[in-house]
Amino acid sequence: MRIGFIGLGIMGKPMAKNLLKAGYDLTVSSANRAHGELVAAGAKAATNAEIGETCDLVLTMVPNSPQVKAVMLGADGVGAHMKPGSTFIDMSSINPVASREIAAELEKLGVEMLDAPVSGGEPKAIDGTLSFMVGGKQEVFDRFKPVLEAMGSSVVRCGEVGAGNTTKLANQIIVACNIQALAEALTLAQKAGVDPALVFDAIKGGLAGSTVMNAKAPMMMAGNDKPGFKIDLHIKDLNNALDCAHTVGAPVPMTAEVQEILQWMHNHEGGQKDHSAIAQYYEFLTGIEIGR
C-alpha cells in the first residue's frame, strides 16, 4: 500500500515520521518546505497530483475546511487524480458539514473517505500516542485502522462521515473550558496567597485532575507559551463548534465565553502561542504572573 501525506506542519511532520517508522511506503507533498526532512528519513516526494495518481491512500493534515477542499477538490485537486477504489483520510480538524460535503464529491469519483481528526497535540504526535476520532463506513475503518494505529494509541470509530469531526469539536470544547478553568483557579490561588504549584500538586490526583491539567499547569507556572497547539488553531476549532452548535440548536455558552478570551489573546499578539497562554489573559487582568 502506497500512502500519500499532505500537510507537514507541527502535527503532520511527526505523524508522517511515525508512518515511516512503522514501515509504510510513504510519499509526501513536495509543496511543503518540510518535505526534505521526511525524504531524508525514507519518504518519496511528489506533487499533490502525483500523490493522487500513485497512492492507494491519501492523508491530509491541514488547518481547516477551505484548505482540505482546496487540496482535494480545487483546480487540479488530488481527488481528480485518485483511482476509483482508493481512499482519502482527512486528519484535519474541520467542520463536520464540510467533511460530509467532501465525502459526497469524492464518492462520485469512486473514492472512499474517513474523517479522522486527532487529539493530543505535538508531544503525542511525536511519540505516536494520538487519539483518533473517526467517521466513515465500518469496513473502510477496519481496513485502515492499522495505519492510524501507527500514529496513535486510541482509534475509535464514532459513526458515519462527519462523526469524527463532531467528536473532535466536543473534545475541543472540553479542552478549552478546562484550560480556562485551570488558569482561573491558579490565579485565585496566587491572589489568595497560596502557591499555585502546591495547589496543582494537591489536586492533580483528585477529581479535578486531568490530562489537560498535567500538561498545561506546569507551562502556565513556567511562563512557557511555546505552542504544542496554537491559540489561533483553537479559535478555528471553536468557531467550527459554534457554527455546528448553531446549526443543530445546541446551547454552548461556555464555549462562546472561552472563545472571546482566546480572541482577546489573538488581538494581543497571542495567536501563535500555546493555548495554555490563556493564563496571560488573567495575568493581564490581575497584574500577577502565575507561579512567578
Percent of the chain with pLDDT over 90: 92
User: Which domains, from first to last, does the chain contain?
Assistant: 2-160 (3.40.50.720), 166-286 (1.10.1040.10)
Average pLDDT over residues 37-57: 95
Is residue 26 within 8 A of residue 54, CB to CB? The reply is no
* Residue 228 confidence (pLDDT): 84
Q: Is the confidence at residue 185, as pLDDT, over 90? A: yes
Is residue 209 within 8 A of residue 202, CB to CB? The reply is no
- The single residue listed with the C-alpha cell 497535540 is 121
* Residue 168 confidence (pLDDT): 95
* Residue 30 confidence (pLDDT): 84
Q: Is the confidence at residue 35, as pLDDT, over 90? A: no
Cell numbers representing residue 216 in the block: 498545561
Q: Is the confidence at residue 32, as pLDDT, over 80? A: no
Classify residue 261 by burial, with Cβ atoms within 10 Å: 0-12, 13-18, 19+.
Answer: middle
Catalytic residue from among 17, 44, 168, 273:
168
* Residue 79 confidence (pLDDT): 95
Average pLDDT over residues 51-79: 94
SS3 134: strand
* Residue 202 confidence (pLDDT): 98
Q: Is the confidence at residue 198, as pLDDT, over 80? A: yes
Could you give phi then psi for residue 225, rounded to 5 degrees? -115, 25
Beta-carbon contacts of 12 under 8 Å, excluding residues fewer than 6 positions away, are 5, 61, 62, 91
- Give the pLDDT confidence of 88-123 residue by residue, as tens digits: 999 999 999 999 999 999 999 999 999 999 998 888
Percent of the chain with pLDDT over 70: 100
* Residue 31 confidence (pLDDT): 80
Radius of gyration of the chain (CA): 20
Q: Mean pLDDT for the chain? A: 96
Average pLDDT over residues 37-44: 94
- Give the pLDDT confidence of 133-181 residue by residue, as tens digits: 999 999 999 999 999 999 999 999 999 999 999 999 999 999 999 999 9
* Residue 231 confidence (pLDDT): 97
Confidence of residue 75 (pLDDT cuts 50, 70, 90): confident
Q: Nearest CA to 56 among 103, 19, 1, 111?
A: 1
Classify residue 108 by burial, with Cβ atoms within 10 Å: 0-12, 13-18, 19+.
Answer: exposed
* Residue 76 confidence (pLDDT): 85
Q: Nearest CA to 142 among 156, 153, 130?
A: 156
Q: Is the confidence at residue 33, as pLDDT, over 90? A: no
To the query of whether residue 168 is one of the catalytic residues in this protein, the response is yes
Report the C-alpha gap between 72 and 286 in whole angstroms. Answer: 47
**pTM exceeds 0.95:** no
- Give the pLDDT confidence of 245-260 residue by residue, as tens digits: 999 999 999 999 999 9
Is residue 61 within 8 A of residue 92, CB to CB? The reply is yes
Is residue 81 within 8 A of residue 52, CB to CB? The reply is yes
Distance of CA 9 to the CA centre of its chain: 11
